[in-house]
Chains A and B, each alone.
Chain A
Amino acid sequence: LAKTTQPISMDSYEGQEVNITCSHNNIATNDYITWYQQFPSQGPRFIIQGYKTKVTNEVASLFIPADRKSSTLSLPRVSLSDTAVYYCLVGDMLGTDKLIFGTGTRLQVFP
């Protein structure tokens, strides 16, 4: 079971870059790393997914070191609207590990 560990909460200010790290020491060869964002009273929303190295999209970047035992979600120049809970999930398509959300990281962005 690829358990993940994330910080419970983080604070930032508008315009700053935010990096949220997730530890997944027992990640398996076929596992992908997926990040979701959740606003209060809404369902989670997919942000980014990766397997190794770096992935970038219009919202965020995901950095994965060679050993894949951790990953870092990077949000460039955050705004107040980025205040949300961020979840890191690890697993492969065939299993149910990637359905385990955990408690996530609560990001609070201040003006």
Chain B
Amino acid sequence: DADVTQTPRNRITKTGKRIMLECSQTKGHDRMYWYRQDPGLGLRLIYYSFDVKDINKGEISDGYSVSRQAQAKFSLSLESAIPNQTALYFCATSDGDPTTDTQYFGPGTRLTVL
């Protein structure tokens, strides 16, 4: 979905390096999310933010941090990358509609930690 963009799309890094994945959206949504997906598995929630001043841990937040710079931007950082953080990372947004709150996903960032 072009309304949600992620950079970079692919990244190879080494163990111990600090990495930042960026997410931008033009949908005007307050809610943003970061997920990771390992091969053959579903998505697991890392962090989520319901508005600019709100940051919450998901089920697998250890080793990650986030920054909500603006309504449109939500960055995910790996402070010291390790090989088991090799995965496909997705950013998503939603509008918080009380009856739908549908999530819209970005194209993903494939991260490899050597």
Count, A-B residue pairs, CB within 8 A: 58
Counting contact residues on chain A (CB < 8 A from B), the size range is 20 to 34
Interface residues of A in 26-71 (CB under 8 A from B): 32, 34, 36, 41-46, 49, 51
Of B41, B58, B96, B106, which is within 8 A of A93 by CB?
A: B96
CB distance from B91 to the nearest CB of A (A): 8
B44 contact set on A, CB distance < 8 A: 101
Closest B residue to A30 using CB positions: B98
Q: How many residues of B contact A (CB 8 A)?
A: 30
Chain A, 88-105, contact with B by CB distance < 8 Å: what is the 0/1 string? Answer: 000001001011111110
Closest B residue to A104 using CB positions: B42
Q: Is the CB–CB distance between A44 and B43 below 8 Å? A: yes
How many angstroms between the C-alpha atoms of A46 and B106 in the bound complex? 13
Of A32, A34, A43, A49, which is within 8 A of B105 by CB?
A: A43
B99 contact set on A, CB distance < 8 A: 32, 51, 93
CB distance from A110 to the nearest CB of B (A): 20
